[in-house]
Amino acid sequence: MALEPCKVCGSLTSTEEEICIICGYPAKGRPKSLWLKWMALILAMLIGLPLVIGLIQTIRTPTQPQPLELPTTKTSDA
Ligand SMILES: [Zn+2]
């Protein structure tokens, strides 16, 4: 029986254990969880990136200057 450091929390976990007893991360043989982690990361990026880009664009163009044309006043005098 050997001990291996957990990839996530670094605590020594028995190699016979399927998951880390501390954080529950599967020590071996379960790459699906890792996939899920990556998927979550990618999803977070997909959602976060447009948000960040939108934020940057908002900062770039602060308050738009008021339009020259007046909304209610018409020059035509009938
Ligand atoms: Zn762990």
Q: Of residues 19 and 72, which shows the higher confidence score? A: 19
**Ion ligand 1 — residues with CB under 5 Å?**
6, 8-9, 20, 22-23, 25
The predicted structure's pLDDT at residue 53: 92
Nearest of 13, 14, 33 to residue 22 by alpha carbon: 13
Q: How many CA atoms lie within 13 A of 16 on its CB side?
A: 2
Q: Check residue 26 and report its DSSP letter.
A: B
Q: In the predicted model, is pLDDT for residue 58 greater than 80?
A: yes
Check if the beta carbon of residue 18 is closer than 8 Å to that of residue 27: yes
CA of 14 to the centre of ligand 1 (A): 11
The predicted structure's pLDDT at residue 28: 65
CA of 77 to the centre of ligand 1 (A): 79
Q: What is the pLDDT of residues 3-51, one digit of tens each?
A: 888 888 888 888 788 888 888 887 665 556 778 888 999 999 999 999 9
CA of 30 to the centre of ligand 1 (A): 14
The model carries a pTM of 0.32
The predicted structure's pLDDT at residue 47: 93
